[in-house]
Chain A
């Protein structure tokens, strides 16, 4: 158990809908990273937050947004969902804001868009 929690574990929804994925980092970790894992694209970095502020952006679509709250949990919002958004979404946390140390991954949310 990494100490990072994600809810829900599974999500099935229809095209055009909007969903929110939630991540609680390890106690004391200030950074949260979001990743998308799909068969065709592999594991892709989406976005990083550090202590409530956006720090880095990766291949995140405009239909996707994220935020980190004062209690340090983070939410990833996916809107106008398309079939291709079906994937595993992971969050990871670490104490600092650089990649000079390991990241601790949550169990992921499996999103299926029908």
Chain B
């Protein structure tokens, strides 16, 4: 079963605008990761934020984590056509089997 719920399911914006995607989860986590998937291809790791971190940056990406609300957001600034892809959050549990649990993903379309 999917632990992560992503919102929105689909997002379409103009090139140059910022894109924000949200992820909610249910159990205690060690870390939360964001991955990108271009159509039908393998997932590419974007960023990892640990449970004791609140915000992290990587280039045009900004990730926040609110463990009290069990939620995370991914912000892509100054979007480009090449950012068109599906974005998934994945949680790593604090206890138990060490597996990533993925959300359903947000399909992002950047219009030129």
Seen from chain A, the residues whose Cβ lies within 8 Å of a Cβ on chain B are 2, 4, 33, 35, 42-45, 48, 55-59, 88, 90, 92, 97-108, 110
Cβ contact of A56, chosen from B44, B99, B105, cutoff 8 A: B99
Given contacts A43-B102, A48-B98, contact A100 B42 (CB under 8 A): no
Whether A42 pairs with B104 at a CB distance below 8 angstroms is yes
Whether B100 pairs with A45 at a CB distance below 8 angstroms is yes
A88 CB contacts on chain B under 8 angstroms: 40
Would you give the shortest CB distance from B27 to chain A, in whole angstroms?
A: 13
Some 11 contacts from A to B, beta carbons below 8 A apart, are A43-B105, A45-B101, A48-B97, A55-B98, A58-B99, A90-B43, A99-B93, A100-B92, A102-B33, A107-B41, A108-B41
Whether B88 pairs with A104 at a CB distance below 8 angstroms is no
Given contacts A100-B30, A105-B42, contact A42 B98 (CB under 8 A): no
Mark B80-105 against chain A: 1 for CB-CB distance below 8 A, else 0.
00000000100011000111111111
Total interface residues on B, CB under 8 Å, equals 25
Cβ contact of B42, chosen from A97, A102, A107, cutoff 8 A: A107
Cβ contact of A101, chosen from B42, B48, B93, cutoff 8 A: B48
A56 CB contacts on chain B under 8 angstroms: 97-99
Whether A2 pairs with B44 at a CB distance below 8 angstroms is yes
Given contacts A42-B102, A43-B88, A43-B102, contact A99 B44 (CB under 8 A): no
